[in-house]
Chains A and B, each alone.
Chain A
Amino acid sequence: MGPLVPDIIGPNLNFVVALFIGIAFGWILEQAGFSTSKKLVGLFYGYDFTVLRVFFTGGIVAMAGVITLQHFGLLDINLTYINPTFIWSALVGGLIMGLGFVVGGFCPGTSVCAAAIGKIDAILFIAGSALGVLLFAEGYPLFEGLYKAGNWGNPQVFESTGLSKPLFAFLLTTMALLAFWAVSLIEARVRGEKPAYVHLSRTSIAVAGVGVLIAFSAFVLPSKKDALLGEAAASASTQSRARVMSLDEFAFRVLDADPRLQIIDFRPAKESGSGRLPKSVSFTVDNLFEKEPARLLGRRHVISVFVASDEATERRMAGIAEGLGYKHIHVLEGGLNAFNTEILHFDSTKVPHTRQEIDTYRFRNRARRTLPALIAANTFSGPVKKTIKRAVGGC
């Protein structure tokens, strides 16, 4: 599951990746014609809309790509960088950049690209940018108020507008297509030519078709998450192949402080209160689908026991975890409700008869007296929240 940094690709290899991504980025920008200011500003005077076409196609494809990866459980959006929203600095900074665009004829990325092929105006633009950064740095105390005003956090636009994500993506794509059509007409009029219809080779149309199909599948097919959740809700809870751990074995491993034991507690926070078992980690269904928390389940040589109030919930969760490819999941016999009545509140007045019953009696009576202290002493609520760390990004 992506992002591959930092687990699969370490921080230093990431710099090498950055170099190669940069090479591809620079090559695409130059091939598209972003290395000349005349072509770039054509957008604002109506004679050349290359920038709009490249930029919007790129944005739409990337948006669809990210949605598709996320949909099929290949990318954890909680770990990717979402540009923060500071409303006032975004607006004022954006307007200043717009002014800089028509005055200078470049934006930072394109200026680097143009400078690389020898455009002197681009080299001057870069020098100017450095001065602009310097001005901001030196005057920072003056601008800090505006820079930090109106902090909305890191919302995604469908959260801010209240539209659903697929609807928003659809609207944005439609807008882009309409814009492509409209600018072709404007461009033709400004240049005094007939509108040039798009000429794409058969290969590009075929490749684009496959891309559209994949992206479209993200709208039609249920996501991996929805599919597994639906399956878990529908199927009889007995179908899970999870092994059942008996109450006594469970209590013994807890008392014994078994280093291999890992308790995954699915009770909602308000239900469990302060009564968390030692070495237990608090989990939600969503955690199973997230990269960081679910890492615990992939650990080797540990016995993961899913606990919840009742065994049916445990089995449902175990079924989802198995669907996600995790193995060796155990569930607690009868759930924590049974654990409460049979172990924590063991009725010691019941007289045992057989030898086995006597052993059980002795053990449960000891567990009843020792376990509450262990639970009370336990303040460990799990690393689930803490380990979530987004990638650092932005300019």
Chain B
Amino acid sequence: MTSPKEYMNPYVAGALLGLLLTLTIFITGRGLGASGAMKSATVATMQTIAPSHTKEATFYKDYTVEHPEGALKNWLVFEVIGVVIGAFLSGLLSRRLSFVLEHGPRTTRAVRVVGALFGGALFGFGAQLGRGCTSGAALSGMAVLSTGGIITMLAIFGGAYAFAYFFRKFWV
């Protein structure tokens, strides 16, 4: 087993990301995203396991009105399937595929499990409230110079810096 390849130069990766985003906006008129696909998957799951509930609750009703073709027939769902394929191929070619639970040097696996679940829940919730995540609101919002997108970006990174001190034992 050979060691993993080095990561790409961050500025080169950033430039490629920017060109991809420009191309995406030119072709589709919309930016990249991620959390929207998680929303689609969650809504689709709820529609399957609790159909009577989703016909009543406002959130699901609004969602059905906005997505008449079904929760999973969504641009971001296809895009995120692509992300999984692309990341997998990249990991395969750079020899980085492995089942591991990464955690900071001073934490246990149990803390990391709880942290990942809890952090995910916060991010999932925040992305719904803030109408998009780091990709959909912050990055794509910056590309089209959307005021809301840039405010969300500042809030995400500002919030992360503000809270970082309290969770330093998780990571360093």
Contacts and interface: CB of A to CB of B under 8 A. Distances in A.
B112 to A, nearest CB: 6
A43 B78 CA distance: 30
B81 A22 contact: yes
Interface string B26-52: 111111111111110111011000000
A83 B115 contact: no
A29 B37 CA distance: 17
Interface string B110-142: 001101111111111111111111111111111
B123 A157 contact: no
Interface residues of A, number: 144
Q: Which of A18, A143, A200 is the most central at the interface, judged by chain B CB atoms within 10 Å of its CB?
A: A18
B29 to A, nearest CB: 3
Contacts of A26: 82-88, 90
Given A15-B78, A37-B102, A80 B25 contact: yes
B13 A103 contact: no
A59 B139 contact: yes
A246 interface: no
B98 interface: yes
Contacts, number: 580
A92 to B, nearest CB: 6
Contacts of B150: 157
Interface stretch (A113-121, A275-283, A341-349): A113-121
B27 A117 contact: no
A313 B19 CA distance: 41
B143 A94 contact: no
A89 B135 CA distance: 17
Contact of A44 (B75, B96, B123, B161): B161
B144 A156 contact: yes
A80 B29 contact: yes
Given A53-B14, A117-B91, A395-B132, A62 B142 contact: yes
A391 B29 contact: yes
16 contacts: A16-B78, A83-B144, A92-B130, A94-B154, A97-B152, A100-B120, A103-B119, A125-B120, A128-B123, A133-B43, A136-B128, A137-B42, A165-B145, A199-B9, A391-B28, A393-B136
